[in-house]
Chains A and B, each alone.
Chain A
Amino acid sequence: MSGVLLETVGLSRRFAVGRRAAGGKRASMLHAGDDVNLRVHAGESVGLVGESGCGKSTLVRLVSRLLDPSEGAIVFRERDIGAVPAAQFAAHPERGKIQMVFQDPTDSLNPRYSAADTIAEPMRLLRGARGDLAIAVRALADAVGLAPELLARFPHQLSGGQKARVGIARALASEPDLLILDEPTSALDVSVQAIILQLLARLRRERGLAYLFVSHDLNVVRLLCDRVVVMYLGRVVESGPAAEVFAHPRHPYTRALVSAIPGGTANLAGGRIRLSGEVRSPIDPDPAVCRFYGRCMQGAPRCGAEMPLLREPVAGHAVACHFDR
């Protein structure tokens, strides 16, 4: 594992919600990402986990430069790419080096493009390839296990797994260093999921790619990822080596997550943890209250008065909790 490929520093994104109140009062802000510091090394696979609405997708869109951050920097290969507006990033020299595989393979393919058109487009636009790309497209299709006779087909003529392969081939077409995978298998049949995951693992091995892997499925993250980052309501609550985090989760939220893995309770003392209480609102959250307070089984008055910061009690394993032993 060599140098740092991607680093986000204090990355935040807020969305205005509702109407601006009369009298010049600022509109309410939904905090989708708050002060996120994330690091991906070259060739490393980092898993991003957390429940729905915790800001994973926002973070992924910020890093893939589809969305502009409210605050903070995104440093990719020692260049601050966060300052380039998303609308202009298509022409940026690093565009081809960060690519993404989308969650929904159907929605993410242009219905009027054949599979070959879809795969060839980034080659033309991002690598300046000219002329007939049939050979290059065929080679890439072969690498993702897409039969050459399917290349002339349109998305509605392909199965879910085939569409997922087209999406992966498109993401690889510009020869990226970092591949962002936004729940790449969640829209697929269970039987196809495993095949696509094996394909992703093989492609990473063969091409030395770094992955930022977003998933609900903790078992998948444990198998595929070197490190794991746990998010809760827009903030990182724990990060560390995958094996370490799954074996010895330090944050109460991570402990609850890990205890909920089917067949995974044996690893953990205390058995399955059931969370009660309501998720706090992400709209204008109190900066002095822990985001997990109210649902946390360890919650104490201090959690309602002071936001716990991310500390690193063990080198490489960070956690944001007052009660970390």
Chain B
Amino acid sequence: MSATLRHIRYVLSENLVTLGAFALFTAFVLLAVLGPIVAPYDPLATDTARAMQPPSAAHWFGTDALGRDILSRIIIATRLDFGIAVAAVALSFVFGIALGLAAGFFGGWWDRIILRLADTIMAFPLFVLAMGIVAALGNSVANIVYATAIINLPFYIRVARAEANVRRNAGFVEAARLAGNGDWRILSHHIFPNILPPAMVQVSLNMGWAILNAAGLSFIGLGVRPPTPEWGIMVAEGATYIISGEWWVAFFPGMVLMLAVFCFNLLGDGLRDIIDPRRRT
């Protein structure tokens, strides 16, 4: 365990960009957990007397048309946006990796059916598919999670299938058979741990994408509904005021959204270095 920690420290000290991404990620996670304590104002409290104030010492990110504090709303929204992204990515990781492993390892009909399923999903414009799923299942946070999970599924299937297919006939898999491993143990103990590094990179890239997707759905009015604080809704609400000069209403939630996606993309490389034992020295 201490060796793992030492390795993580080594990777972070070697790569300052990864360190920055980790710091940013930690900040986001803290905001998600501690949001209600940290937020300076009640995110739902309206006060028309303070409406549309530009950024000031009292309201760092300004206030919106109903006089709500934008900084507080952004902070409170972190938990919801991260929650949706984490749940969706966890779902597509579990099912996508399991399906991809089965396709790549067993081949034959498994492979054909699962790959066609992935192709079918990929054939749609993914955001439109997500819209269709939410519209059909109903407007709820759970359905945003399912829709985001489904459109991300093919990426995990493809990563797991390609990696399992390469390793199916690797020497160490043959050796594992001789050591008494059955199919399931070979998959879980010998192939799965070896596809974790590429899968984790996929997770990290997907996370940013899942946040964008959830925000996008809310932006067009599907999924999360006002007055719930959510980055996508806040950008949508602020968009109408950009022309009239009240830039801060859309700018700050949009900026945070961008930072979150940026942070996850940078995290990908760092995660791979930490998980892949070949980088250990």
Residues of A at the B interface (CB closer than 8 Å) are: 64, 66, 86-87, 89-91, 95-96, 99-100, 102-104, 107-112, 121-122, 125-126, 154, 156-157, 167, 170-171, 173-174
Contact = CB atoms under 8 A, between A and B. Distances in A.
Contacts of A66: 174, 177-178
Contacts of B176: 110, 121
A160 B63 CA distance: 66
A173 B179 CA distance: 9
Interface string B52-64: 0000000000000
29 contacts: A86-B177, A91-B182, A95-B180, A99-B178, A100-B178, A102-B171, A102-B174, A104-B171, A107-B171, A108-B174, A108-B175, A109-B171, A109-B172, A109-B175, A110-B176, A110-B194, A111-B277, A125-B179, A125-B180, A125-B185, A154-B277, A154-B280, A156-B277, A156-B278, A167-B175, A170-B175, A170-B179, A174-B179, A174-B180
Given A110-B190, A110-B194, A95 B278 contact: no
Contacts of A89: 177
Contacts of B194: 110-112
B172 A108 contact: yes
Central interface residue in B171, B185, B190, by most chain A CB within 10 Å? B171
Contacts of B138: none
Interface size class of B (residues with CB under 8 A): 20 to 34
Interface in B255-281: 277-278, 280
Interface string B73-97: 0000000000000000000000000
| Most chain A CB inside 10 Å of its own CB: which residue of B180, B182, B190, B280 | B180
A60 B106 CA distance: 23
A120 B178 CA distance: 13
- Which of B177, B181, B183, B280 has most chain A Cβ within 10 Å? B177
Contacts of A110: 172, 175-176, 190, 193-194
B170 interface: yes
B177 A112 contact: no
Contacts of A122: 178-180
A87 B180 CA distance: 11
A66 to B, nearest CB: 6
Interface in B133-181: 170-172, 174-181
A95 B179 CA distance: 8
Interface in B180-205: 180-183, 185, 190, 193-194
B102 to A, nearest CB: 15
Given A107-B172, A126-B179, A174-B180, 5 more contacts: A90-B177, A110-B175, A110-B190, A110-B194, A121-B180
Which of A96, A107, A167 has the most chain B CB within a 10 Å cutoff?
A: A107
Contact of B181 (A104, A125, A156): A125
A64 B278 contact: no
Contacts of A87: 183
Contacts of A167: 175
A108 B171 contact: yes
